[in-house]
Structure 1
Amino acid sequence: MSEDSKRTVDAVHTACEILDVLQSRGQAGVTEIADEVGMAKGPVHRHLTTLADHEYIVNEGGEYRLSLHYLDMANQVKGMISKYDIIIEEVQNLAAEMGEIAQFATEEHGWVTYIYKADKESDVQTSSSPGKREYFHSTALGKAMLSRMSDDRVERILDKHGMPAKTEYTFTTPDELFENLETIRQQGYALDNEENIEGLRCIAMPVTGADSEVFGAVSISGPTSRMTDERIDEELKEALVRATNVMEINTKFA
């Protein structure tokens, strides 16, 4: 058992699992939740009652859901993100200018964590949304950030979460990924060539903060029919350069 494991609290672990179930299901009863977390209904019911007493969940006739308290928490977290308003403005500008999905993400706990998404003009829908997490190795956003990290940090992320195949095009071995990261470092941007979602292509660039450490990445996504090599090279790449420059200048010198 690791030192970190020895310091964990079982009751808190169970509460977190219950909250994860409610987030994925939207609403669930005691029996469903107990089956999902692998516990008896009695202990699960006590956890649910405690969470409801603290107003983190709501009991609606025996069906439980997350409370609106998380909206306030989410807004507070947004305020902790450096230059959040600038990020929103630049992502919105990218989406409007390119007519595609534009997104910004950062790293948290070894996951690509989406911060903002704009798709006003796009006719394509993706499952990403603010707060949603995704693997590093299968996304352009993730690979763009990895390209600015040390090999040791990249390996720790891969060891923690693995490299599952999201599509037939996903890199599933460290050697493949590290070779791709070297290409990304040389060209200055990352590509997701249907590696995360079939039929969808994405270009992303890393964004660094005042300490020159990567604090996120910005991307443009669209169907393969529109995301051609020619368009990436002649149009999308330059648009991302402008957006990242604005974000970095405001972060470093504002």
Structure 2
Amino acid sequence: MSSALERGLRILEMLAAHPEGQQVSQVADALGIPISGVHRQLQELGRLGYVRQVRDQGDYGLTVKLAALGLSFLGRSGVTDIAQPILDRLATASGELIRLSVIDGDRLVWVAVAQGATGGLRYDPGKEQGVVVHLATAAGGQAWLSTMSDEDALTLVSRQGIRPEGFNPGSGAPSTLKDLLKILETARKRGYALAVDSYMEGMAAMAVPLRRGDSDTVIGCLSIAGPAVRLTKTRVAELVPVLKEAATELSNAADASQFFRQLGNDLP
């Protein structure tokens, strides 16, 4: 790593993925930094209020300061005010989990959710805000890739990998680039992406790209996800117009937020 700033940011990213805390040695091993260097970084981050020791001489974890900054940014940027009511209405209409993702450079990131299932069998991960979407296996990722040429789509997938790191996708996930290209072609013809047993076994999701106003600029994706046994072909067909209507509403409202207006300007 080239700088103290980069090391500090990598440490924050790692701790964000481990809310239970991590030992100094675990951070050092994962990031390839000497233990003494990690300890100095953690001491400085602690002084600034971003990390704390979970127990005396024990693991280090994030404080709420970083999360508060993120929530404050989303609130002040208009994302919450503009998007959440639309997501909530779509959740009520579909009875499933709704996720909004936005483009951040060459990544797609989940930023807001709404749960429409009130009981019984439901898909409710609860920890996906801020998570980078795996493009090849998630419906939102496939929806975004389907708006590009095959060449551009494969470029993004090659950077991230066709298989996600850290967990095993479902049996319906593409295992080769050829499989993925077939999925993208189908999504283009349908006008939406459908991933069944792909990102996760037993889960189905459908997604459409989110464009800025009347332009062709894609700024994110909107998806409906739930148990595959409930999101049948018939149910998916019923939800397609509802999902597209919500995406159009979000697109029309996007210009009211500076955050949404600047999305999509640095696409690969």
TM superposition score normalised by structure 2: 0.82
1:82 & 1:146 partners in 2: Cα distance? 26
Residue 134 of structure 1 aligns to a residue in which SS? Answer: coil
Contact 2:23–2:60 under 8 Å retained in 1? yes
- The residue that corresponds to 2:263 in the other structure is none
Residue 179 of structure 1 aligns to a residue in which SS? Answer: helix
Amino acid at match of 2:9: C
Q: Pairwise CA RMSD of aligned residues?
A: 2.3
- The residue that corresponds to 1:156 in the other structure is 155
Structure 2 gaps of 5+ residues are 258-268
1:221-240 paired onto structure 2 within 5 Å:
221-233=225-237, 235-240=238-243
1:81 & 1:213 partners in 2: Cα distance? 19
2:32 & 2:70 partners in 1: Cα distance? 29
Pairing 1:11–2:4 present? yes
Pairing 1:111–2:107 present? yes
1:19 & 1:71 partners in 2: Cα distance? 11
2:222 & 2:200 partners in 1: Cα distance? 18
Residue 133 of structure 1 aligns to a residue in which SS? Answer: coil
Pairing 1:28–2:9 present? no
1:32-71 paired onto structure 2 within 5 Å:
32-60=26-54, 61-62=56-57, 63-71=59-67
- The residue that corresponds to 1:137 in the other structure is 136
Q: 1:220 aligns with which of 220, 224, 241?
A: 224
Contact 1:110–1:160 under 8 Å retained in 2? no
Pairing 1:99–2:95 present? yes
Q: Report which stretch shifted further, 239-248 or 102-111.
A: 102-111
Q: 1:31 to 1:180 in 2, by over 3 A?
A: closer
2:77 & 2:136 partners in 1: Cα distance? 24
Residue 25 of structure 1 aligns to a residue in which SS? Answer: coil
- The residue that corresponds to 2:246 in the other structure is 243
Residue 168 of structure 1 aligns to a residue in which SS? Answer: coil
1:253 & 1:53 partners in 2: Cα distance? 38
1:130-179 Cα deviation digits (max 9, x unpaired): 11122111011111111122334312211211101622211132222222
TM superposition score normalised by structure 1: 0.86
- The residue that corresponds to 2:260 in the other structure is none
1:169-218 Cα deviation digits (max 9, x unpaired): 11132222222222212211110111111111111111100342111111
1:109 & 1:252 partners in 2: Cα distance? 19
- The residue that corresponds to 1:125 in the other structure is 123
Residue 197 of structure 1 aligns to a residue in which SS? Answer: coil
Contact 2:123–2:225 under 8 Å retained in 1? no
Higher relative contact order (CA 8 A, sep 6+): 2
Contact 1:100–1:221 under 8 Å retained in 2? yes
Q: 1:125 to 1:25 in 2, by over 3 A?
A: same
Question: What is the deviation of 1:85?
Answer: 2.2
2:26 & 2:185 partners in 1: Cα distance? 46
Amino acid at match of 2:23: G
Q: Report which stretch shifted further, 213-222 or 168-177.
A: 168-177
1:216 & 1:40 partners in 2: Cα distance? 38
Contact 1:82–1:251 under 8 Å retained in 2? no
1:92-137 Cα deviation digits (max 9, x unpaired): 1111122111111122253331111111425423435211122111
Question: What is the deviation of 1:79?
Answer: 4.2
2:171 & 2:153 partners in 1: Cα distance? 22
Residue 137 of structure 2 aligns to a residue in which SS? Answer: coil
